[in-house]
Amino acid sequence: MPQMIGIELNKEFNNQIVEELRSGYIYLAMSAWAEQRGMHNFAAFMKTHAEKEEYKHAMKFVKFIQDAGGKVEYGAIEKVPSDWADLETVLKEAIKHEQHITARIKILWDLAKKESEVYAFEMLGWFLEEQMEEENLFEDLLRQYELTGKKDGYWDHRVHHP
Ligand SMILES: [Fe+2]
Ligand SMILES: [Fe+2]
């Protein structure tokens, strides 16, 4: 098997698997919170996002580590909140979380660059682009919420989900 990932980056990629799975975990919690309040569209949106996007991100790191001849380790996922004051707080927290993930990807990008890990560096370029989309996605939800007069039910009606 080729050895195309260094020990330090391998460790950080394993940490990122947990970060991505925890992102999904947070969004599942937000989905449950919304479901309980009758916001079925937003609940479905967040659940699908957790399943389709965050799980996919985690698996992308898993596959890269394996392809590069590294070792996959699944760490513990820290407990996530299950209560928020209101919908606006939920949306702002989701944006803040995506900003945190973007910052994480930048740390990995810097490390890959420093260590001349060219394959990882290429792959992280994809993640940086993805993070721009992710931040935009949640910022747009908040913008729509503000534009529609912060009426939870009306806004939820307009949330599209796959
Ligand atoms: Fe992600
Ligand atoms: Fe995300």
| Tens digit of each residue's pLDDT (9 = 90 or more) over 118-131 | 999 999 999 999 99
In angstroms, what is the span from residue 41 Cα to ligand 2's centroid?
18
Considering just the CA atoms, what is the radius of gyration of the chain in Å?
Answer: 17
- Model confidence at 55, in pLDDT bands (50, 70, 90)? very high
In angstroms, what is the span from residue 133 Cα to ligand 2's centroid?
9
Domains with residue ranges and CATH for the chain? 7-79+87-158 (1.20.1260.10)
In angstroms, what is the span from residue 117 Cα to ligand 1's centroid?
21
Query: Which of the ligands is closest to the CA of residue 59?
Result: 1
Q: Say what the pTM is.
A: 0.96
* pLDDT of the residue at 2: 78
- Rounded to whole angstroms, what are the CA distances from 142 to 61, 118, 152? 29, 37, 11
Mean pLDDT calculated for residue range 119-144? 98
In angstroms, what is the span from residue 158 Cα to ligand 1's centroid?
24
